[in-house]
A and B are shown apart, each in its own frame.
Chain A
């Protein structure tokens, strides 16, 4: 591929050399290949959008560029010089800055301190606070950002936090700016402000890598688009040569990892009814009905809405409004034990923080919930292993040694332990949050089978997912959410995968 760049509207001219050149980069995590030989050219004064479904390798690629992960193979050149073993510090010194999806500001410090973090102007060893404020204000004003520098970072909106982070990176001399889903979970107005900032930086000659799930947004802001799928580059072309339909096709067109089996038709009785569930901006007026034996998917970009639904349904947080009925009985929200007693079983998408106790053994994690439901008082390892063995079998959990700490298992095995822990506790309703998050293809197929079996047992399943693939594979109906609101609801037979992706990624409401 010869790097010509007709679309770069740059002051330095179309012939400017690539500031960043990536050739054949590979990276795998524990046997699962995340990147399989990806090429990428980045020119100054260009917005380069990176698109792809979940797990396509976008995040891995930018993390390699930012020095978070080291590539297994391939080369990364900066200004024509090959760079081996990029570390975060080295990447930063070369002018590559990365604004991750989760904002990384020191929330207790002021905006000014955050902008100048690590580079506070000092006299001797004391901080010159006047200069801090002045320099920070100048840095923000230079980018047309209107935020008072004395505010505490914790009081900023997400959009403002993004801008402060961008200002910090630009001030550090970032020539390559990587933005990972900067507009996820933002309102249309805030997203517009971020995009204006991105355009302004481009015009000043910064090379920008822009990851987004929203096709409309990419078409509006990007000069060039690269689409990844399953760790390989599918297409890289100027945005002007792409249209939305072609983009969707190149993103989605992968082999289906498992096929949809025939499941018994859902029963008529309602398993789960949610009415008007509202919590902050993440979940707004969410209403859904799931019959027993039915799988209803909630599709949306990964992030706030799904994990907030987990918090609300599991009882970790109390909603501002709304009610939940399980099997016709109202379940009081806001108490974990009430949710469990009502027959609600919530499987988190965040295994590490909310799913498993990493230091405890596989068997103990597997039986943690059911032993507590059974009110067992004694704990014997041999007997525990005997009870856990059939579960390990059913859920396909495989361990090298007998009963290792669950934290030492692979992601797929951990996920199966998590599912086994909850699905064997006589659920009436299951809420599954991204059940195939971070697992390899084989484990994914296993987990899909497990979810099928669960629905066949007559359990009402609400599946939060960010993958249209998975929704098409599993769900009977799908509810599409965006920025906390329901934007569409379809029977799965009445929609094609491409249509579904287009609805989910087509744009933000309003």
Chain B
């Protein structure tokens, strides 16, 4: 059986393999992440010209170390936001994980045991978020904002107002390099790559897109929406825990107010700058990676140019706003976009 529709367009009618959309665009704004890359290049070139120290390997390695933690959080968040979810508590989850891990290491636990325990704890926290969001009708925004504040408090309680050092445990992860690249960055790149592969090449990832696009359709199509949500929140929790451990290994100590809600907001900013929609359905791990790098480079540039550190938030906010506006314009100009 073959059907013919008179209204059918006559060119290249559905034949041939799927072509990637828009490879022939001319302006950078029409390339995927074109605007973002352009801004990133401009900022980098400007800083390199203004401050000689920007391009030294020491500085670049520093930037890479600093953004690695953020990248891990942002990777988990990208997947979750693509599925229409949101987790404001990942940074606070990282703070709790880092405090607990520091206390355990300080009291003499072995490093592998601490890693296992803190990752399990972080995953459990994520799972609780997932349970609340899935089985009550509280909006993810509200539920995870509440747990973020709660966890920030718990982290302070765990540290009891003191700074806890971990000696030279885990310093390898925090400071060593492999072929000139810090371990932290390798972990971050690995997490980003795995998330990207998951989103693109696994049914689990495509389920996230379907749920973010239209949860009703996803459920009616036989996707176990509740199960997927729990898994996604648990995964976000696990990645938050990993980020906490990475941060701890880099700093060598847990101080009050390390990580927490502010770290989370930077990650959210990076994800949004990367073009992932708060409403779900659109998500790109490449965009997130670029967003993380952009925010890291901007922060570094402000530092090197000796701009008052109070301006950092102003600039970060400005970058976020401009990127969000550009993303919205780009989305409108794509066919089939919303």
Residues in A lying within 8 Å of B, measured CB to CB: 31-32, 314, 316, 336-337, 340, 346, 348, 353-361, 363-364, 368-369, 371-373, 376-382, 385, 392-408, 410, 412-413, 421, 440, 442-443, 446, 449-450, 453
Contact = CB atoms under 8 A, between A and B. Distances in A.
Contacts of B336: 358-359, 404-408
Interface centre among A336, A369, A394, A421 (most CB of B within 10 A): A336
B2 interface: yes
A406 B221 CA distance: 16
B178 interface: no
Nearest to A373: B222
B3 A396 contact: yes
B287 to A, nearest CB: 15
Interface stretch (B31-39, B208-216, B229-237): B208-216
Contact of A357 (B14, B200, B214, B335): B214
Contacts, number: 142
A379 B213 contact: no
CB-CB nearest 3 A-B residue pairs: A396-B3, A405-B336, A408-B336
A442 B213 contact: no
A373 B18 CA distance: 24
A254 B209 CA distance: 44
Contacts of A359: 209, 213, 281-282, 336-338
Contacts of B18: 361, 363, 381-382, 385, 402-403
A32 B7 CA distance: 9
Given A336-B219, A371-B203, A396-B3, 11 more contacts: A31-B7, A354-B214, A356-B214, A364-B210, A368-B221, A378-B201, A385-B18, A398-B9, A400-B13, A401-B12, A402-B18
Contact of A395 (B3, B205, B337): B3
Contact of A354 (B3, B19, B216): B216
9 contacts: A357-B210, A357-B217, A359-B281, A360-B213, A377-B202, A379-B205, A382-B18, A393-B14, A398-B14
A361 B204 CA distance: 17
Contacts of B11: 400
Interface in B46-63: none
Contact of A404 (B203, B216, B335): B335
Interface of B: 1-9, 11-14, 16-19, 21, 200-206, 209-210, 213-214, 216-224, 281-282, 335-338
Nearest to A363: B18
Given A400-B11, A402-B16, A442-B6, A358 B222 contact: no
A393 B224 CA distance: 30
Nearest to A337: B222
A456 to B, nearest CB: 10
Nearest to B225: A336
Contacts of A397: 14
Contacts of B4: 396, 446
Contact of B220 (A31, A316, A363, A399): A316
Interface centre among A357, A364, A402 (most CB of B within 10 A): A357
